[in-house]
Amino acid sequence: KEGCGRPTAPGKTRNGNPYQTCCRGCVQKIGHDPACNLRVSKSDWEIMLAGEWKLVGVAERNFLDELDRTNQSTGHVKLRGHEYEFDLSQLTQRNIATGKVRQLRRCARPQNSSTPGGEIDGENEGTNELVPITLHVYDLLQNPSIQTANGILRVVGSGAYHTALEVYDMEWSYGACEHGTGVFSCIPGGCAMHHYREAIPLG
Whole-number pLDDT of residue 198: 93
Contacts of 200 (CB under 8 A, 6+ apart): 134, 135, 136, 137
The rounded distance, in Å, linking the Cα atoms of 179 and 184 is 10
- Average per-residue pLDDT for the chain: 75
Read off the pLDDT of each residue in 155-170 and give the average, rounded to a whole number: 90
C-alpha span between 104 and 56 (Å, rounded): 9
Of residues 148 and 59, more confidently modeled: 148
The answer to pTM > 0.75 is: no
